[in-house]
Structure 1
Amino acid sequence: MIEIQSVILSIRKGEESGLKILYHHYADALYGIVLRIVKRQEEAEEVLQAVFLKIWNNIESYNETKATLFTWMAQIARNSAIDRTRLKSFEMGNNTGSFDLSESELKTDSEVSGIDIKVLIKDMPEKYRLLIDKMFLQGYTQQEIADEMDIPLGTVKTRLRDAISKLRDQLKDEKHLLYILFVM
């Protein structure tokens, strides 16, 4: 496990070693996010490089009270991949502003979940609502949730599975939201 604060401080001081540590620990996860959006490996690799450059250049804007480091980096990755996809679509002559299905697929978790999922989970039992909020809206890992809530990891996994099942039942007609729940 890396010491996040020391890595952030290292990057803020301009030390490349901090960025290398972040790359080593998070590149695969961020690559997966980017690849799901851009669909092509070579393009995903290019976007990933741009993502780490943005992380390097914008580390001062990271605020640990607003999001975990991974959530912040994942948002940069999503936005970069979406920007690339929109640019490519525009360059190919599809500049009508119509993205149809791909537009809904490209919505970030926070755009969709910040509105729809919060509404859907408001009537759920608290034990499920807290898990969905922490996992999908705040970017916690299952282990971080278990540690913070002081419950076994297995309990977190079971409750999360049950909560997602309840959401799926509510969302049978909401394909774009189901897409997000299956992808995450």
Structure 2
Amino acid sequence: MQQDLLISRLQAGDEKAFERIYFLYSESLYGIIYNIIRDEKVAEELLQDVFLKIWNNASSYDPKKGRFFTWVLNIARNASIDRLRSKDFKNSKGNLRSENFEDILVAQSNSIGKIDAIGLQKYLDRIGPVCKRLIDLLFFKGFTQKESAEELDIPLGTVKSRNRVCIDKLRAHIISP
């Protein structure tokens, strides 16, 4: 089924279209959510919440403002970051044993490998290591701009400027590969 038709059917409340959207996007969205949350059960629960948001807000999607995948990816990313920053989530992670820390740190530093699951790796390779690292921190690890500035040891204003430049570069490569 053509994507435009599928999306318009979703916006009209067609449950079969919603099932197809779930089938097409659930694996990629789960990858984004898990990469930020780092907890399988919470990621699975959050994936369901994300699809509920997609269903409830389908009418707000506007193809003139961007691709559908970008829209659902932003819903997943924002929901993941909100959950990560929530008090309940922080409290539930407060009792981690010390042997878990190494696995968490290694997994968070290795998110580049998971980016290819959503087809961005070939584009990220074209924009250079500085942009690749910044986009990884901001969009795939859920860092704020301030946290990214601290991680990269650069001024916050530089992070904001580079973010804009890097996103423009990435957009240019995706639009005209």
TM-score, scaled to structure 2: 0.58
Paired residues of 1:62 and 1:69 also in contact (CA < 8 A)? yes
1:133 aligns with 2:171: yes
Q: In the alignment, which residue of structure 2 is the partner of 1:118?
A: 164
For residues 70 and 22 of structure 1, the distance between their equivalents in structure 2, rounded to whole angstroms, comes to 10
Quote the offset at 1:65 in angstroms.
Answer: 1.1
Q: In the alignment, which residue of structure 2 is the partner of 1:43?
A: 42
For residues 21 and 31 of structure 2, the distance between their equivalents in structure 1, rounded to whole angstroms, comes to 15
Aligned residues: 122
For residues 121 and 38 of structure 1, the distance between their equivalents in structure 2, rounded to whole angstroms, comes to 23
1:59 aligns with 2:95: no
For residues 65 and 22 of structure 2, the distance between their equivalents in structure 1, rounded to whole angstroms, comes to 22
For residues 42 and 49 of structure 1, the distance between their equivalents in structure 2, rounded to whole angstroms, comes to 11
Quote the offset at 1:107 in angstroms.
Answer: 3.5
Deviations, residues 65-116 of structure 1 (Å, cap 9, x unaligned): 111000000000001111111113454598xxxxxx999641379xx88742
Among the aligned pairs, what percent are the same residue? 34
For residues 62 and 82 of structure 1, the distance between their equivalents in structure 2, rounded to whole angstroms, comes to 21
Structure-2 change in CA distance of 1:78 and 1:12 (3 Å): same
For residues 63 and 34 of structure 2, the distance between their equivalents in structure 1, rounded to whole angstroms, comes to 26
For residues 38 and 17 of structure 2, the distance between their equivalents in structure 1, rounded to whole angstroms, comes to 29
Letter in 1 for 2:171: D
More relative contact order, 1 or 2 (CA 8 Å, 6+ apart):
2
Q: In the alignment, which residue of structure 1 is the partner of 2:134?
A: none
Paired residues of 1:78 and 1:108 also in contact (CA < 8 A)? no
Structure-2 change in CA distance of 1:50 and 1:133 (3 Å): same
For residues 172 and 90 of structure 2, the distance between their equivalents in structure 1, rounded to whole angstroms, comes to 36
Letter in 2 for 1:31: Y
